[in-house]
Chain A
Amino acid sequence: MTDSNNVIQVDHVYKSYGKQKVLKGIDLTIKEGEIFGLLGPSGAGKTTLVKQLVGLEEVSSGEVRLLNEKQPSLSLIERIGYMAQSDALYTELSARENLEFFVSLYNLTKHQRKERIKEVMRVVDLEDAMDKVVADYSGGMKRRLSLAISMLHEPVILILDEPTVGMDPILRKSIWESFNALKKRGVTIIVTTHVMDEAEKCDRLGMIREGRLTAVGSPDELKKEADVKNLEAAFLVFGGVHYES
């Protein structure tokens, strides 16, 4: 395994807020073009880890490197796309106005900007709702618009905190198809999720519990290791819950 292949490298990362220890020694490498899923109960430290990857959260000790550069770094910003758990939209504005605002924060020509807006809205299937005010969007539509915005600047790493919450299965399928299309273009995607059938679609999974990575591997590897038939059961085994099959 060569270094250049590792897009993301997390070394001995600890994080505490006062006395509360949130991350207790995370080690993780993610390769280029991988779809990596972070699985774990709420409060396990998923969002903290994700924010450290984006550079919005400091590590207490250890190191987070993306594309061989230590976070936080300004030069990484243009290469990372981030979608938080909150939709982070200006609801009083239309979708187009939201997109126009966020796209002009990046160094793109006028033509490129137009093209990008069209492209990302096509991916999330919102082209028809372009001029609708976001306040009138449904929950799933907001989530898709939020996802579209995080892809505006063609990032090589896409970090998504629960991207498909509130989406119906058909839409979720089409979103995952676009993830796979992005993957083929060499984009590395990190997603956090609660949904097991979604976790199955990841190349590799990291199970996180109480600030520790309890298991890392492909869905099949994890099932084998836990000696269970489905991922949900594996999740329980690695979570420390005794599972009777």
Chain B
Amino acid sequence: MCLGAFTMRVKALVIRILRQFKRDKRTMALLIFAPILVLSLLYLVFGDDDYSPSIGLVDFPEEVVESLDLSGAVITIYEEEAAAFGDLDTQDLDAFVTLDDNQPHVTLEGSDPLINSAVLNWMQEAFGSLTGETERQVEATFVHGHEDMRHFDYFGPVLLGFFIFFFVFLISGVSFLRERTRGTLERLLSSPLRKWEIVIGYVIGFGLFTILQASIISAYSIFVLGMMMEGNFFYVLLITLCLSFSALTLGILLSSFAHNELQMIQFIPIVIVPQLFFSGLFNLDTISDWVSWIGRLTPLYYAADALRNVMVRGFGFEHVYIQLLILLGFSVVFVVLNIIVLRQHRKV
């Protein structure tokens, strides 16, 4: 009977939350369409693979130039390396190629990862046909930047996770904040509803909505924007769902330390944005050692890793379950902290 009463109370809470969602169409739209809009914009800005790099060939014998397939790039011929360097500095040139013992060596300006990959792809095609080996790594020197910077496909999974995390955090935090500021939390606490039932009710109510949200956003990114997808779509959903749980429970937790909506928004630069920096959007190897450990404390780090394993590397469950467990672990910790915080309001 005790369990029956529990499920009934939690069910009532879940139904109420879903009803509120139904009424608040604007918030519902924000949760689904804002990530879609931002991802689409990012796709439009970064997803263009058709960029033609401008490439200089330095001191190439005429017959070699003849034999190469130079389509897909704007080619300039240089007599001396110094001249090519000059144009590289002024960014009139993306890269130049020299020959050392008949081995092509490319020097890249390097500050834009999109251009880098375009140059390297072009090198593969142009010089692969010369040697007949397509897989051979071209020797490359970067003036700025580094080779690991890649484009939409590579940071897509991170951004997918980030936007789901961001919006679930914000909406759940504000919802719970409102519950406190308009006094309904107090009313809940003066009802037989237990503190942990409140938290669980929120997790289930928002969880149900999040399944819908994560499915739509993931499907849009993968099937409409054509984000790279080597693995199983189901795993993507599983990862985003676990990530949303941690966002949800963290949002509720931090809402206890905000007095109004604006203060909730103030958590974004402190809690949300830093996660983006440490989640693998930027190469973690290049982050100073004394701060790189921060990434391991953030849910997004594990979600991004798992999403990349599935979406880019095509791995299966055995390569994501540890990250999933860690994400659930985060949620459990946040749930426990939430219950402790609610004890401030009522000791029993």
Contacts and interface: CB of A to CB of B under 8 A. Distances in A.
Using C-beta atoms within 8 Å of the partner chain, give the interface range for chain A.
20 to 34
Given A55-B346, A72-B348, A106-B191, A93 B19 contact: yes
Contact of B184 (A88, A100, A107): A88
Interface stretch (B7-15, B111-119, B215-223, B311-319): B7-15
How would you classify the secondary structure of chain A's contact residues: helix, strand, loop or mixed?
loop
A66 to B, nearest CB: 13
B136 interface: no
B20 A92 contact: yes
Contacts of A149: 187
Contacts of A97: 16, 19
B257 to A, nearest CB: 17
Contacts of B19: 93, 97
Nearest to A74: B348
Nearest to B347: A72
A56 to B, nearest CB: 6
B8 A72 contact: no
B190 A55 contact: yes
A56 B345 contact: yes
B27 to A, nearest CB: 10
Contacts of A106: 191-192
B12 A77 contact: no
A104 B348 contact: no
How would you classify the secondary structure of chain B's contact residues: helix, strand, loop or mixed?
helix
A78 B346 contact: no
Given A88-B183, A149-B187, A93 B23 contact: yes
Contacts of B186: 56, 82, 84, 86, 88
B184 A89 contact: yes
A80 interface: yes
A86 B190 CA distance: 14
A56 B13 CA distance: 20
Interface of B: 5, 8-9, 11-13, 15-16, 19-20, 23-24, 182-184, 186-193, 345-348
23 contacts: A55-B190, A56-B186, A56-B345, A56-B346, A72-B348, A77-B191, A77-B192, A78-B192, A82-B190, A86-B182, A87-B182, A87-B183, A89-B184, A90-B184, A92-B20, A93-B16, A93-B20, A101-B16, A102-B187, A104-B9, A104-B11, A105-B193, A133-B23
